Amino acid sequence: MNAKMTNQSCLKTVCSVSELAQSLELSRGRFYQLIERGPFPPPIYDLKTKRPYYTLELQQICHEVRSTNIGYDGRPILFYTPRRKKEISESPSFSAEKRKKAASNPQYQELADALANIGIQSLSPQQIQDALNVLFPGQKVETLDHGLVIRQLFRHFKTRV
């Protein structure tokens, strides 16, 4: 077998089904499905513990199946490419500075999220605070009905646009 096909450093003398599935970039459930259908060889079971495991030779066969797309049973098999986690891109309208300010006051962030859900986007905590001072002068917002506050803020920002 070609050294490029399998990474010998990641293979162990004996490994569990979960470890092998992870090294093949498959879920354990999908790996078991493929064992039942024939592309991968079945594991060996310990007689005392009944626990399945793969020897070094079986691991090499599984890696060869993954890299060549020819199953243990001789039939071709196609694998999906594993998903890669996408990096979250920052939108220019919501910079790190704004995010930091919003995180400093979770009450304003909650109101901004609620307003964003109903169509009012890109509000800063300062804008929300100014609107609350206009709409409810001298009152603590925490004591008011949450739905009332959101409705009044919505009307306030809709009339300004």
Each residue of 48-106: pLDDT tens digit?
Answer: 999 999 999 999 999 999 999 999 889 999 888 766 665 544 444 445 555 555 455 67
Mean pLDDT for all residues in the chain: 80
Q: Looking at per-residue confidence, does 1 or 158 come out higher?
A: 158
Q: Which residue reads 């790190």 in tokens?
A: 96
CATH 3.40.50.1100 fits 8-68, yes or no: no
Strands (E), 17-115: 44-45, 52-55
Q: How far apart are CA 118 and CA 157, in angstroms?
A: 12
Q: Which two tokens stand for residue 148?
A: 């009332």
Residue limits of CATH 1.10.1660.10 in the chain: 8-68
Both tokens of 104, joined, read 């400093």
